[in-house]
Structure 1
């Protein structure tokens, strides 16, 4: 189904078919990225009917609504999405949702603290989940929004949120301890695209992405040559591919560096714009973050 046809169909469905949720119905919640799905699951639990659009390895920058998404979206009471134009291809779809509450997780944050970006219409880097403090704020935000939607479950949502924040606080302590074994001069993270700037700011890493902030931007020969010179200058030991980005660009970068006499390895695959497979540790936000940091530190130390 073509994009225009999907948007037209959504317009008809959202305007004419959406009805008010009855008090005894389970709240239908739809989420976009797998990180947000995991967050809302931890808070809503059994009190909501949760469906996520994007699974493991899915790139939100390039994601387009499918025919199957139409049914999920049209039956939703609330849709949680990242915002800041991360889900660029879905913006037009969200604009058609006149009778469905759409909530951007990024609205939980103070814009003055965000990293600027000229590559997004929002003018901010949308990869906010790589700051654990931001994810705690997002947790409180989701608790508030779900409590407003189902007041009778407010106590449960607040308890779930408090428990999850404790887990996030523990995660931050663990990550900080793991990263401390890596000398500052070795904290240079080179990846397929610039998804890790918030991580770098939080944990004192210099971060460089081959494709920039959005995977919709292709890396050219000059980009590869410029970054290869940077890797040699900084004596970078390892570079990283990403689970949601084709690995060919990083392989080309490694070949360019090695051709100049500097040995650089691929240190592993990191989860950037999506979590790992469902039912695995990496399929959760906490497990993903621990895996990423362990992979980075082990490859660079």
Structure 2
């Protein structure tokens, strides 16, 4: 029998021009994914062949999430469970390792080459898990999702390969849009201040200094000393915009703005970014591509670039 990974990638090259998700056969594969980003990848690749449940919806912080009884029931009934790994779902790791003895359970980000990852700021043997902030890195996760789906349903390998090729093309287009839109941000404005350090891969790919009040995990404490140090940076470097996140409370960011104001420097909120979760179901921003379209456009626009109002395809803020 041919190696399934090679079969998948080989088929993908043959159908790279597929324009829409392809669907096929008889009864969906039940898949449970922890984050919305992983769930979106499974839907993009699996199309009608999969029935995907995401445990963590819009505005949910995966760093602190604990499985509920209904989550456990869904995962024990699923054909396939996909979680991120890289210590993102730290509160759930023991459960996943236990479940893996009974079910197909795959940590999709763990397959990434470790030399591409940033070190964790709190744990010497861990990595920054926020790889979805880079479309180029996210391709590794998408390929692993496709491999896991193919392993679970080999009869649909051709279909999954076609949809993988199409989606990788979308990620290429997204990456190119990101580079184009942030190119207009002046060098002096290329500082991204956020609630926690979720944007390190974005900063590395697109040439921004990233400063978070909290560390890589939202469970890190945001101390008064850290806020005070960032206030000094805002004032000294005349940084005029900071960003809140949909899945992190904005209390510390408000304290940062007030601290700068007390020193005579006005700072505005440049917008709300999607960090650890996508948008609300039914909105444009409820997919991975749209999530980053929103982030790229919001960051670039607030920091001085001329950006298209509706983002990459004119759909930002358009709902469905």
TM-score normalised per structure 1: 0.90
Deviation of 1:194 after TM superposition, in Å, equals 0.3
Q: Give every structure 1 segment of 4 or more consecutive aligned residues whose post-TM-superposition deviation is greater than 3 Å.
A: 23-26
Contact 1:84–1:121 (CA under 8 A) maintained in structure 2: no
Equivalent runs, 1:213-232 vs 2, <5 Å = 213-232=216-235
Q: Deviations over 1:76-97 (max 9, x none)?
A: 2211111011011111211221
Distance 1:275 1:121, change over 3 A: farther
Unaligned runs of 5+ in 2: 1-24, 305-320
* 8 A Cα contact 1:237 1:299, kept in partner: no
Residues 121 and 216, structure 2, Cα contact 8 Å, conserved in 1: no
In structure 1, distance between residues paired with 2:80 and 2:137: 21
Cα distance change on mapping 1:102 and 1:220 into 2, 3 Å = same
TM superposition shift of 1:25: 5.8
Q: CA deviation at 1:261?
A: 1.0
Matching residue of 1:138: 141
User: Which residue does 1:65 correspond to in 2?
Assistant: 67
Partner of 1:12: none
Whether contact under 8 Å (1:84, 1:120) holds in the other structure is no
* In structure 2, C-alpha distance between the alignment counterparts of 1:111 and 1:299, rounded to whole Å: 33
CA contact (8 A) 1:192 1:249 kept: yes
Taking structure 2 as the reference length, the TM-score comes to: 0.84
Q: Distance in 2 between matches of 1:54 and 1:230?
A: 34
Match of 2:61, SS state, is: coil
Q: Secondary structure at the match of 2:105?
A: strand
Correspondence 1:155 to 2:158 = yes
The corresponding residue for 1:53 is 55
Aligned partner (choices 262, 266, 271) of residue 263 of structure 1? 266
- CA deviation profile, 1:199-248 (whole Å, cap 9, x unmatched): 00000000010011111112111111011111122221100110000011
Q: How many residue pairs align between the two structures? A: 279
CA-to-partner distance for each residue in 1:39-82, whole Å, 9 max, x for gaps? Answer: 11100111122111000000000101112112111112211111
Q: Is the 8 A contact 1:240 1:269 kept in 2?
A: yes
Unaligned regions of 5+ residues in structure 1, if any? 1-22
* 2:180 alignment partner in structure 1: 177
Counterparts of residues 77-116 of structure 1 (less than 5 Å): 77-97=79-99, 98-116=101-119
